[in-house]
A and B are shown apart, each in its own frame.
Chain A
Amino acid sequence: MDFSNSAYMQLYDKINNYLLVQCIALANSDGGTFIRESIWQFPVIEGIHVLSIAMSVGMIMWFDLRLMGVSMKHRPISEVFRGVYWWMVGGFTVAIISGLLLFWAEADRAFPNIFARLKFMGLLFAGLNILYFHSVTQRNQSEWDNKPVPPRAARMAGFFSITWWVIVIAAGRLMAYTF
């Protein structure tokens, strides 16, 4: 079947072209040009972005490993969560702000890039995984909070979290090779 001229593809092209035009305008704005063409701003923001991702993922990783029953097995899951939560949120906030500044400077090249899209997809699924965990899996946490190896649903939440972050990090790094 040929979908290349279907109504869906035409709509996709229309949205894609509209967003691309917006991204080109964003990158060519005064702010985008200022970040991109500077000697120090771009590398410093990029450095902060990488290190803040390392900090936030490095923190959430301990909670995911605990959920998987791999690390800190004899501590309550809620205790491990409390221990890493604010550090993870802090690192993630810095990563989002620095990431948006980088996108501002290179939106025209990032938007059509396959790895950038993969990174955004990974972020979206990581977010959905958190949402599902908090709204469904965590409901009966009191029953398994102290278990060294929690039930399958919780272990899967930890596994998928690590998987999405691996995708986000790998795609983010590979973006630089395809710009």
Chain B
Amino acid sequence: MISKAIFAPFFEWLTTFPVGVAIANSKYAFAIIEVFHLFGIILLLGGATLMSLRLLGLTMREQKISDVARSVGWFTFAGLLTMLVTGFLMVSSIPNKYYHSVPFWWKMGFFWTGVLFHFTLYRRVTRSDSTGLFLGGLTALLAIVLWYGTGAFGRAIGFY
């Protein structure tokens, strides 16, 4: 188990990051960045949900898995990138709050596992049309759990 203490120097540095300080001092910046963070997660969840449903054979069976992947791939990636950039900016504006937030670390666990999964198993399975239902189904369930989990823990940061 990785202790969050190893990230302490990074969070310490973030408190002096000029962009983060500017966001903290602005009345509207954080709210606007958070709205774009939400757009990012919707793009990501939209892509991951459609792809997962296709892998499970629950929708768009007329299309090959690799064709659906090609159609949604760039949007999903754009969502991931938007989440990453806006998420970093949000954390940089109040690093102490995030460092001490339990749901934040759960979100980070789900998010970074999701990123790793996205560029390995998910990419391999969605680019192939010969994957069996078991591996396809497992990939779909992992995508749903990891990305919806990221969203749920993200929302929980505001409450706990």
Q: Would you call A169 and B71 a contact (CB within 8 A)?
A: no
Q: Mark A71-82, 1 if CB is under 8 A from B, else 0.
A: 110010001100
> Cβ of A61: which chain B residues have Cβ within 8 Å of it?
42-43, 46, 75
Chain A residues in 8 Å Cβ range of B49: 55, 58-59, 87
A46-B155, A173-B34, A173-B35 given; A75·B45 CB < 8 A? no
Known A62-B50, A75-B62, A174-B31: A57·B152 in contact at CB below 8 Å: no
**A21 interface residue (CB < 8 Å to B):** no
Q: Does A177 contact B (CB under 8 A)?
A: yes
A87 touches B42 (CB 8 A): no
Known: A54-B151, A176-B158. A84 touches B38 (CB 8 A): no
Q: Dominant SS at the A interface?
A: helix
Taking the closest CB of chain B, its distance from the CB of A70, in whole angstroms, is 9
Contacts A84-B59, A169-B35, A177-B31; A58 near B45 (Cβ below 8 A): yes
The residue that A59 contacts in the complex, of B46, B63, B71, with Cβ under 8 A, is B46
Could you tell me if A51 and B148 are in contact, using CB atoms closer than 8 angstroms?
Answer: yes
How far apart sit A92 and B60, CA to CA, in the bound complex (Å)?
A: 20
Chain B residues within 8 Å of A173, by CB = 31, 34-35, 38
A169 vs B42: C-alpha distance when bound (angstroms) = 10
Q: Is B39 an interface residue (CB 8 A)?
A: yes
Query: In angstroms, how far is the closest chain B Cβ from the Cβ of A94?
Result: 13
B114 at the interface (CB under 8 A from A): no
List A residues 36-95 near B (Cβ within 8 Å). 42-43, 46-47, 50-51, 53-55, 57-59, 61-62, 65, 71-72, 75, 79-80, 83-84, 87
What are 24 pairs between A and B in contact, CB < 8 Å? Answer: A43-B156, A46-B159, A47-B152, A51-B151, A51-B152, A51-B155, A53-B42, A54-B45, A58-B47, A58-B50, A61-B42, A62-B46, A62-B50, A62-B71, A72-B71, A75-B63, A79-B60, A80-B60, A83-B60, A87-B59, A169-B39, A173-B35, A173-B38, A176-B158
